[in-house]
Amino acid sequence: MTYIDFNPYLNGEKNKSILTATQATEESTTFAFSADEADFSFFNKLQQNGIYLNKNQAKACQHINGPLLTLAGAGTGKTTVLVARTSYLLYKGISPKNILIMTFTKKAANEMIERITKLTNPQLARQITSGTFHSVFLRLLRHQGFNQEILSEKNKLIALKIILKQLNLQDSYKPESLLATLSLLKNRMQATEELPEKDATQKQVKKILLKYEAWKKQTNKIDFDDILLETFFLFKNNKRLLTMMQQRFQYVLIDEFQDTNPLQYELIKMIAKPENNIMVVGDEKQCIYSFNSADHAIILGFERDFANVRVVTLDVNYRSPASVIGLGNEIIKHNKSTKSGNLLATKQNADKPMYLRPSTTTDEATAIVSEIKKHVASGKWQYSDIAILHRTLANSRSIFEALVQEGLPTISYSNGEMFYETAIIKPVIDYLRLAMNPEDMKAMSTILPSLYVNKETAMRFIEEQQLFYPKDRPLLHLLDMPNMKPFQKKKLKEVFALLQKVINKNPVSAIKEIRSSFYDKYLETTDKSNSLHKEMMIEALDELLESAKGHATIFAFVSYVDSIISEHQKMTEQGREIAGDAISLMTIHKSKGLEFPVVFLIGMSEDMLPHKTAIHADKMEDIFQEGEPFKQKMLALEEERRLAYVGVTRCKEELYISSPTYYRGAKADISRFLLEAFKMEKKQSVWDCTNSTCNGWMKVDNTADDKKERRCPFCKSQMMIADKAVLQ
């Protein structure tokens, strides 16, 4: 099985060939300045440091006063422009103490200041205030006397677990989901006290969150979201302090503006007043963090929120081949919520993206490993040239295991989380371990929460009883544990019978039995707050079944899992040593802002990318999350399309895309994002939705239709007859 020249239509359907991006003109890629220009010495210094700005980059750089929106497409040199513009402000005599640079990572802030020091007086550069939103505003809070301890993620979870136990709700909600809900509310500036109580679940969640907030206040603690919220209220209630901040930071620069959430944006607007000397740099086509409260409507509405905004578009891509940029342009143009146009190319490269339609994700992984080994052996590639990008952790299981089995050096950027050791999957594996060895205490500890008993109390009792009254099946000691309720004893007996039942089954049948008997239901009842999280849990469990298919016995499967876990641990330990030459395996989200010579974008099939949670977003019912179902689905699909765009535009030289035909045993269509990019378009008369945020349209059947009134089947808005370019 080999990759072919890119075209997802393999059966001769009517389609267009891949479009290469338009080549940037010499005028758009160069900025000519003469020796008699006032800024000659500045631009000459830039060029001496290897920075050659193009025409639009120079426009953004030379802007001083008033709001500036810089729409910076993928690979267009946005960081260079931010560095050059900051240096230009210093060159024009602006005090470094009056400059504030906000980034989304500490690393980005440090790198920016480091680059600025090479272009100007290092002492001046180091007087600039730069950092993440949280670091900058935490410094302010500390200066204002806020001495609260900052809670770590781990301690937040521990605190919430204790509260859930106090309320006897530890089996009803997952702390992670509750904290995600709370974070979303705070980043929208919504007070916990104002949450609705329309049903029992909302009432319970509100009670839990209020108790958590009260505990923080009593113990003098805050979390990261509180840093921004406390600053917001501080500015609202202390006009003198806000005025001081406005006078101090007269020039504000914001990086990755498309990732801004409503709370961050309010803080930006507060500080920028009254002069509004604010420069924001971002790309609405790369807004992919809505789960972190990022709202791409903010960058789209910037011109509405500020008067006399100057807009500069950076559309010359210096990273990718023309054919890769062409594919990216064709993918993203189907998003309605977009502002900037197509990217232009500077690279002339004969290599077109390559495409594969493998049967399964296992075949996909085999083909990728084969391709990598072939090109590394020939000397064409190094391992460090290669990135393999996937949508979710579950999607990466097959390729990760193939890389491990072949011994290819790989760094997995999954926050240390390994598929078989996630909170959802590990208990199922440990049920299989217990079926084989009823005395496996580690496995027993993992499965206890699914029996609705307190893990610490139950394990202490089992270990004490086993010491004095040993049993072949120590789990049965729980039948004698004080305060065990009848339903808990019943559940224990059911699980004990289940373990005896599955021991002789193959692993697929055993896992199905565990899931259908109780595990899926247990997961559903332990997380009432987040339907998106439930979908991800089901996806992970379905992937576990797929993994088990290649093994005849439970013993063989668990042994295989242990070998993969062991290899993953070795790879993690060796990470620093192999970092110089290793394949990068990461989610598309993790890849944002990075670039690689060779990119494998895997899983470009329906339900994978776009993910099924987006395809069915209109059916998701998350607590406190309200809105029109159609709009939710449209926004979710547009974000998935932006993800596909980000994945494609990470490539510097060679791009490989694959779309498995079957996904976990079910037929999987090629991703709509690829099909849209290759289908022919033809203008025809249609009923078109008048709602600017809706893509709905219907065919005009006959002339009599012209006189009828139509409502959009999606958003119910009025429709009108119009000419529209329709995919054929």
Categorize the per-residue pLDDT at 94 as very low, low, confident or very high, splitting at 50, 70 and 90. very high
pLDDT digits (tens, 9 = 90+) for 676-704: 887 755 666 778 788 766 767 777 766 55
| Residues whose CB falls within 8 Å of the CB of residue 53, separated by 6 or more in sequence, listed in order | 31, 43, 46, 61, 80, 81, 84
Categorize the per-residue pLDDT at 575 as very low, low, confident or very high, splitting at 50, 70 and 90. low
Q: What residue numbers does the annotated binding site for ATP cover?
A: 72-79
Structural contact between residues 252 and 282, judged by C-beta atoms closer than 8 angstroms: no
Residue 126 and residue 247 in one domain: yes
683 phi and psi, to 5 degrees?
-75, 130
Does residue 244 lie within any of the structural domains?
yes
Q: How far is CA 422 from the centre of its chain?
A: 18
Of the two residues 437 and 488, the one the predictor is more confident about is 437
* pLDDT greater than 70 at residue 543: yes
| Residues whose CB falls within 8 Å of the CB of residue 77, separated by 6 or more in sequence, listed in order | 57, 314, 318
3-state class of 251 per DSSP? strand
Residue 129 and residue 61 in one domain: yes
Categorize the per-residue pLDDT at 11 as very low, low, confident or very high, splitting at 50, 70 and 90. very low
| Residues whose CB falls within 8 Å of the CB of residue 304, separated by 6 or more in sequence, listed in order | none
CA angle 453-455-460, nearest 5°?
A: 110
Does residue 723 lie within any of the structural domains?
yes
* pLDDT greater than 60 at residue 705: no
Does residue 507 lie within any of the structural domains?
yes
| Per-residue pLDDT, 361 | 93
Where do runs of H (alpha helix) occur along 188-276? 200-218, 224-237, 239-248, 262-272
| Per-residue pLDDT, 522 | 75
Residue 21: closest CA among 337, 326, 319: 326
Whichever domain contains 555, its CATH number is: 1.10.486
Structural contact between residues 725 and 640, judged by C-beta atoms closer than 8 angstroms: no
**Average pLDDT for residues 475-499, to the nearest whole number?**
88
| Per-residue pLDDT, 727 | 56
Categorize the per-residue pLDDT at 490 as very low, low, confident or very high, splitting at 50, 70 and 90. confident
Rounded CA separation 302/280 (Å): 9
* pLDDT greater than 60 at residue 579: no
* pLDDT greater than 90 at residue 221: yes
Q: How far is CA 110 from the centre of its chain?
A: 23
Residue type, 406: E
Please state, in angstroms and as integers, the Cα–Cα distance from residue 40 to each residue in 45, 47, 82, 131, following that order. Answer: 9, 11, 19, 31
Rounded CA separation 248/430 (Å): 58
- Determine the structural domain holding residue 716 and report its residue range: 680-727
Rounded CA separation 135/102 (Å): 10
Residue 251 and residue 105 in one domain: yes
For residue 47, count other CB atoms closer than 10 A to its CB: 12
Q: Which of 190-194, 273-277, 542-546 has the lowest mean pLDDT?
A: 190-194
Categorize the per-residue pLDDT at 368 as very low, low, confident or very high, splitting at 50, 70 and 90. very high
Categorize the per-residue pLDDT at 377 as very low, low, confident or very high, splitting at 50, 70 and 90. very high
pLDDT digits (tens, 9 = 90+) for 104-125: 888 899 999 999 999 999 999 9
Residue 366 and residue 289 in one domain: no
Does residue 523 lie within any of the structural domains?
yes
| Per-residue pLDDT, 619 | 66
| Per-residue pLDDT, 422 | 87
Categorize the per-residue pLDDT at 38 as very low, low, confident or very high, splitting at 50, 70 and 90. confident
For residue 117, count other CB atoms closer than 10 A to its CB: 16
**Average pLDDT for residues 333-344, to the nearest whole number?**
86
Does residue 11 lie within any of the structural domains?
no
pLDDT digits (tens, 9 = 90+) for 39-72: 888 998 999 999 999 999 999 999 999 999 999 9
| Per-residue pLDDT, 644 | 97
| Per-residue pLDDT, 252 | 97
Residue 603 and residue 533 in one domain: no
| Residues whose CB falls within 8 Å of the CB of residue 322, separated by 6 or more in sequence, listed in order | 20, 21, 23, 345, 347, 348, 349
| Per-residue pLDDT, 416 | 60
Does residue 224 lie within any of the structural domains?
no
Residue 115 and residue 78 in one domain: yes
Q: What residue numbers does the annotated binding site cover?
A: 72-79
Final residue of a structural domain among 528, 559, 590: 559
Residue 369 and residue 275 in one domain: no
Largest CA distance in the chain: 95
* Preceding amide of 274 cis, omega within 30: yes
**Average pLDDT for residues 481-495, to the nearest whole number?**
87
| Per-residue pLDDT, 710 | 80
Mean of pLDDT over the chain: 87
| Per-residue pLDDT, 283 | 94
Whichever domain contains 35, its CATH number is: 3.40.50.300
Please provide the DSSP assignment of 214-228 as one string: HHHHHTTEE-HHHHH
| Per-residue pLDDT, 10 | 47
* pLDDT greater than 80 at residue 301: yes
Does residue 187 lie within any of the structural domains?
yes
% the chain with pLDDT above 70: 89
Residue 455 and residue 503 in one domain: yes
Final residue of a structural domain among 674, 689, 712: 674
* pLDDT greater than 80 at residue 18: no
Give the pTM. Answer: 0.86
| Per-residue pLDDT, 80 | 94
Does residue 337 lie within any of the structural domains?
no
pLDDT digits (tens, 9 = 90+) for 239-278: 999 999 999 999 999 999 999 999 999 999 999 999 999 9
Final residue of a structural domain among 252, 286, 316: 316
Residue 588 and residue 536 in one domain: no
Residue 51 and residue 84 in one domain: yes
What does R_g of the chain's alpha carbons equal in angstroms? 28
Helical (H) or strand (E) element with 633: helix 629-648
Residue 155 and residue 194 in one domain: yes
157 phi and psi, to 5 degrees?
-65, -45
Based on the number of CB atoms within 10 Å of its own CB, is 14 exposed (0-12), middle (13-18) or buried (19 or more)?
exposed
| Per-residue pLDDT, 39 | 86
Residue 240 and residue 98 in one domain: yes
| Per-residue pLDDT, 454 | 82
| Per-residue pLDDT, 350 | 63
| Residues whose CB falls within 8 Å of the CB of residue 154, separated by 6 or more in sequence, listed in order | none
Q: What is the number of domains present in the chain?
A: 5
